[in-house]
Amino acid sequence: MSEFTGIRGTVWFRALTGQASPLPGDPKSVLTSDAPIGKEQARFLCVVPDPHGRFPCARHGEVGLEEAYTLATRVREVIDESKNTNKRPIVAIVDAKSQAYGRREETAAIFLAAAAAADAYGSARLAGHPVITLVVGQALSGGFLMHGYQANRILAFDDEGVMIHAMHKAAAARVTLRSVAELEELAKKIAPMSYDIRDYAKLGLLYKLLHVENPEKPSAEDIRNVQNELVGAIANARSGPVDLRNRLESKGAQEMRKASLLVRSKLEAQWQEA
């Protein structure tokens, strides 16, 4: 499992939009750009490291207070401008270290900031914008809940540098009173605990696992392929409902989330009883 470097976000943002800058007035840690995808203009967003950021605990690619409210602002801009017109796509490129862990963050209620970011993405989806997440590196815990997990469709690279999880290994081992080796052993048998993106893909939450020759230095062909996949995901999102039910209707869910399906059907049956 490679170390988080925080460069993949910038690399892929630039590859897909032609630039890698924040909008005027925004912190340098949030890249926003309107760029063509297929025949449309999508809004692309990404959280990246900013070693000179105002918040000391959010300088290495963490999603902190400023990042969360900036994302919320830039997503809501799209919702507001599109109220009576075509709902253009929103693409979240994800390679974030985690959420920001700091005293300033807790004091200034990062829980609400996180909710605001997720609210914006979720509201955009409910308003009819196809929200697509492309995981090019790390997508962890609160950071992913804020930036990426409210999407209609989630794509990820089939690559060792890609990880979707609730907590990075060392911390997870500490909290569950196990060694990292023990955790890795368990993760082999228990797919939801695994740090391998291929095991995550079995859970039925991913729209597609993408093969990319060189995720750190994509070729023109790599980029073209990813763009085509994004276009496909956008069309697929438009063809379905705006809620998240596709996550439970997938083949993976039928295999790996049987308990979820049982809960849903039993609860519905009991709800209706007098």
Question: Which residues within the stretch 123-142 sit at the binding site for other proteins (CB under 8 A)?
Answer: 123, 125-126, 141-142
Identify which of residues 157 and 200 has a Cβ nearer to other proteins in the complex: 200
Strand-strand pairing, 138-140 and 98-99: unpaired
Strand-strand pairing, 163-165 and 138-140: parallel
Question: Which 182-221 residues touch other proteins, going by CB under 8 A?
Answer: 186, 189-194, 200, 203, 205
User: At closest approach, how far in Å is the CB of 24 from other proteins?
Assistant: 14
Instruction: Compute the distance between CA of residue 61 and CA of residue 31 in angstroms, rounded to an integer.
Output: 12
Stretch that binds other proteins, among 15-23, 31-39, 106-114, 211-219 (CB under 8 A): 106-114
Count, residues near other proteins per rule CB under 8 A = 76
Question: Which 48-67 residues touch other proteins, going by CB under 8 A?
Answer: 54-57, 65-66
Residue 153 binds other proteins (CB under 8 A): no
Identify which of residues 16 and 118 has a Cβ nearer to other proteins in the complex: 118
User: At closest approach, how far in Å is the CB of 83 from other proteins?
Assistant: 15
What the block records as the tokens of 201 is 């893909």
User: What is the per-residue burial (b if ≥16 Cβ within 10 Å, else e) of 145-157?
Assistant: bbbbbbbbbbbbb
Residue 122 binds other proteins (CB under 8 A): yes
- Residue from 28, 76, 208, 238 touching other proteins (CB under 8 A): that is 76
User: At closest approach, how far in Å is the CB of 214 from other proteins?
Assistant: 27
One-letter amino acid for residue 15 of the chain:
A
Residue 259 binds other proteins (CB under 8 A): yes
- Residue from 1, 2, 18, 109 touching other proteins (CB under 8 A): that is 109
Number of other CB atoms surrounding residue 120 within 10 Å = 26
Please list the alpha-helical segments (H only) found in the chain.
8-17, 65-81, 103-107, 110-126, 141-146, 169-175, 180-189, 197-201, 220-238, 246-249, 251-256, 258-272
Identify which of residues 190 and 235 has a Cβ nearer to other proteins in the complex: 190
Instruction: Compute the distance between CA of residue 261 and CA of residue 1 in angstroms, rounded to an integer.
Output: 32
Nearest to 62 by CA among 176, 139, 135, 143: 143
For residue 43, list its beta bridge partners: 34, 90
Identify which of residues 11 and 257 has a Cβ nearer to other proteins in the complex: 257
User: At closest approach, how far in Å is the CB of 112 from other proteins?
Assistant: 5
Stretch that binds other proteins, among 12-20, 43-51, 209-217, 253-261 (CB under 8 A): 253-261
What the block records as the tokens of 240 is 């379905």
Asked whether the beta carbons of 59 and 52 are under 8 A apart, the reply is yes
- Residue from 2, 111, 188, 219 touching other proteins (CB under 8 A): that is 111
- Residue from 115, 209, 223, 231 touching other proteins (CB under 8 A): that is 115
Residue 45 binds other proteins (CB under 8 A): no
